[in-house]
Amino acid sequence: KAANNSYGNVIKSCEASLKRMQTDYIDLYQIQWPNPEIPIEETLEALYRLKDAGKILNASRDEFHDMLKKIFQ
C-alpha cells in the first residue's frame, strides 16, 4: 500500500514522530512507500521544509521494499 506522501501528511507525520520520540530532530527520515499518485516534488518540498526547519538532518527512501517486491512477485 502506498503511503500518503502529500506535503501536509509528511509534515504532520514528522511532527508526530518528533513528539513520540521526545526529540527536536530526526537524524534520518525515511519515506517507506512511494506513492505514484502524489508528485515527488510535493514530497520533496515537505522534506526540504523539514530540513530547513532543523527537524530532520537527512532523508532517504527505503529500498528494502524494492528487494522484497522482486522476491515475492
Chain segment 7-47, per-residue pLDDT in tens: 999 999 999 999 999 999 999 998 877 788 999 899 999 99
pTM summary value: 0.80
Q: Is 26 helix (H, G, I), strand (E, B) or coil?
A: strand
Please report the beta strands in 1-73, taking only residues with DSSP state E, as ranges in sequence order: 26-31, 56-61
Burial class (CB in 10 A: 0-12, 13-18, 19+), 10: buried
Cell of 23: 526529540
Identify the band that residue 65 occupies on the pLDDT scale cut at 50, 70 and 90. low
